[in-house]
Amino acid sequence: MTLLRAWLARRSHTRLMAREIYGSIVAAGRQITFYETQGVPDTREGRFEMIALHVALVMLRLQRIGSDGVHLGRGVAEAFIGDMDDNMREIGIGDLAVPRKIKRAGAALFDRHRDYGRALAAEGLVALEAAIGDALTAAGAGPGLDRPALARYTKTLAAQLTATSDADCLAGRVTIAPRVA
């Protein structure tokens, strides 16, 4: 019984940390500058892409910690999916359609995780500009999308997350502070 209690306590703590991190992610993804000056469409799809970008970056950082980070990253992804589910139901999407749409949202998140991870590993900003641009163009961004500025922001945020200690990450102290220029 003691092992079960310890496991449940750890799982509860991980969920709490994941929700705190996800709250920071949502606040960062809603920065008005993305939508007013960087050309990100101020639509559900555009906001989804900006939150997915931040979730993907945090998950990339957490997975470098090891199994504890992977578990916390999974909790952040679950918070994201739960938020998407709640939002879909709130806007009136029918109960039968929500699971299909949630499956697509989850797949999109993991596609962004893969694509942004590869782009960040590449030299320079060209691959990152392309990955961000492709996602946002599919979300309805027009020619006013400032790919270079968004790529610089993403690179800066990735560096900030890398500089955050493993202990701070695991404690839910993941600060997402860079502001869009």
Domain boundaries, the chain: 12-169
pLDDT in tens, the chain (181 residues): 676 666 555 667 788 899 999 999 999 999 999 999 999 999 999 999 999 999 999 999 999 999 999 999 999 999 999 998 888 888 887 778 888 988 999 999 999 999 999 999 999 999 999 999 999 999 999 999 999 999 999 999 999 999 999 999 999 888 887 665 5
Q: Which helix (H) or strand (E) holds 158?
A: helix 147-163
| Percent of the chain scoring above 90 in pLDDT | 75
pTM, 2 dp: 0.90
